[in-house]
A = this chain, B = another copy of it.
Amino acid sequence: MPDIKHFDPDATLETVVRLFWQQGVASTGIQDVVTATGLNRSSLYATFGGKQDLYLTALRRYVEQRSQPVFRCLAEDQRGLPSIADFFDGLIQARCSGEYARWGCMISNAHAGAENSDPEVRALLDRHHRELRDALRAALDTAKTRGQLAPGTEPGATADVLALLAYGVNLRSRAGADARELWTSVTAALDSVGL
């Protein structure tokens, strides 16, 4: 059975992720994908299906490889509030500097685009939001048992606030917001949560 591909689907998918992440689905043509990956339309369609399938696969890959590892790290960190501070620090650094500066978050971007009318996309966005909130909640629970939280601070509601705050950071960073400015805001939010 000569069904061996002449390319690496994983590397290809990573390239596609970056394309959709940076430019958005609507502004990225199949031709862009063909050019960036180097493979041709036949292989592309045979391997990944049409554009929407390709986008969904790329979006899932983004969540699995970029979001969930960070969420896990946050949820399992036993330090409490410092783990949340580190989470936001890493977020702001990733959004404002380095290779992905001003790309925002692929999931946040998907919220704002027309692609969220697809039920599968929307389900992914909801799941992502739940996982982010749960990870923050876990860290806040740890902080509470460690006595780091200000009296009256409820981990559940606070996790919701911080999750929304993260979306705000993602959005503003894509428009070129200053890292220090974002960090000042995040610090203020975390200060109001802790003792």
Contacts and interface: CB of A to CB of B under 8 A. Distances in A.
Contacts of A129: 172, 175, 177
Interface of A is mostly: helix
Copies in the complex: 2
A31 interface: no
Contacts of A11: none
Report, as a range, how many residues of chain A touch the other chain. Answer: 35 or more
B192 A122 contact: no
A126 B177 CA distance: 8
Contact of A112 (B166, B171, B186, B189): B171
Interface stretch (A43-51, A58-66, A93-101, A153-161): A153-161
A167 B157 contact: no
A111 B171 CA distance: 6
